[in-house]
Amino acid sequence: MNPKISVIIVSYNARKLIGDCLHSLALQKTSRSFEIILVNSANDGTSEFVEQAFPNVHVHHFSERKYPGDARNIGISVAKGENIAFIDADCRAKENWLEEIAKAQESTHPVVGGAIANANPKSYVSWAAYFCEFSHWMPSTQPRWLDDMPTANLSYKKTLFSQYGSFIEGSYCSDTEFHWRLGRDGQRLRFEPSILVSHHGIENLRHFLTHEFHHGRSFGRVRIKAQKFFHWKRAFYVVGAPLLPFRIFGKVAFNNIRNRVYFPQFIAALPLLILGIICWSMGEVVAYAGG
């Protein structure tokens, strides 16, 4: 009998954190059948460790690096479950994660995602990275409809990929582009905060700032193609570049003021958060300028 849910994890240089992720899945309190698929594209010993420590995990190893969208497509292609659940290698799932996903997927909602907490709260860099990436999906907020959610904690009915195609490959932000495709067809994503994972964020300042620049650049490149940014529109965004950090910061600040889940941490991390937003903005503008 095929499993109810296929859990797909993509990893790259995740040897230090993958054990915590898989251990959290082994402790799930659910009667639902599920399989775990790991698509690993690094030579840091992750595949060998998982095969020894977690023999029930289906490991697919690649020597060359795979972008997240590429790796997720591989996972989907071998998945046997009727529902696909994604969690990142640097995340830990709450013990009822799979049960909450299964209940949510019994509805007519084709895409359901959950909340993301910060797994390393003692690091100011980690908090800055968290607010840059996940301030829209904080814990203890209300269920609602959204246009985009990260695949760090997201589930789909598998038939959706037959209808809308695969994730784009060779780039970051492939999940966002996929959700834009859904949005053009009137589909929205359901946010259920009871579906909870904790994410282990970046702790090194240089790595954080570099990460934000490259992701901002990738977002800009994907946006140009997916939303058909003609030259005049790209020029408009380049000219308006000084306003972009303020726009992004306004959204992050609004979410924290409204929710107040991590408001003290938000205030404490402000200087680093602003640096991260500036780096993302620079990367996005470089993309619009043709870089």
Instruction: Say yes or no: 193 and 225 in one domain.
Output: no
- Give pLDDT tens digits for 178-193: 999 999 999 999 999 9
Last residue of a domain, one of 180, 199, 218: 199
Instruction: Say yes or no: 180 and 211 in one domain.
Output: no
| pLDDT over 90 at 140, yes or no | no
**Strand-pair partners of 155:** 85, 112
Q: What is the dihedral of CA 147, 89, 85, 116, to 10 degrees?
A: -50
Mean pLDDT, to the nearest integer, of 86-102? 97
- Reported as a pLDDT band with limits 50, 70 and 90, residue 42 is confident
Last residue of a domain, one of 169, 199, 229: 199
- Give pLDDT tens digits for 226-248: 998 888 889 999 999 999 999 99
List Cβ neighbours of 158 (8 Å cut-off, separation of 6 or more). Answer: 6, 76, 79, 81, 82, 83, 84
**Strand-pair partners of 87:** 153
Instruction: Say yes or no: 156 and 71 in one domain.
Output: yes
Instruction: Say yes or no: 166 and 240 in one domain.
Output: no
| pLDDT over 70 at 285, yes or no | yes
Instruction: Say yes or no: 140 and 34 in one domain.
Output: yes
Summary mean pLDDT of the chain: 95
d(CA 40, CA 221): 25
Instruction: Say yes or no: 210 and 282 in one domain.
Output: yes
- Reported as a pLDDT band with limits 50, 70 and 90, residue 105 is very high
Mean pLDDT, to the nearest integer, of 3-29? 96
Instruction: Say yes or no: 65 and 209 in one domain.
Output: no
- Give pLDDT tens digits for 43-59: 899 999 999 999 999 99
- Give pLDDT tens digits for 254-271: 999 999 999 999 999 999
Instruction: Say yes or no: 189 and 209 in one domain.
Output: no
The CATH number of whichever domain residue 41 belongs to comes to 3.90.550.10
What does the pLDDT read at residue 291? 62
Share of the chain above pLDDT 70, in %: 100
More confident residue, 140 or 10: 10
Contact 192, 104 (CB under 8 A): yes
d(CA 272, CA 274): 5
What does the pLDDT read at residue 230? 85
- Reported as a pLDDT band with limits 50, 70 and 90, residue 289 is very high
How many domains is the chain partitioned into structurally? 2
d(CA 2, CA 11): 24
Instruction: Say yes or no: 175 and 48 in one domain.
Output: yes
Range of the domain at 67: 5-199
Instruction: Say yes or no: 176 and 107 in one domain.
Output: yes
Instruction: Say yes or no: 193 and 209 in one domain.
Output: no
DSSP assignment of 130-174 equals HHHHHGGG-TT---EEES---TTEEEEETHHHHHH----SSSS-H
Last residue of a domain, one of 175, 199, 223: 199
Radius of gyration of the chain (CA): 19
Instruction: Say yes or no: 107 and 191 in one domain.
Output: yes
What does the pLDDT read at residue 1? 72
Mean pLDDT, to the nearest integer, of 15-24? 96
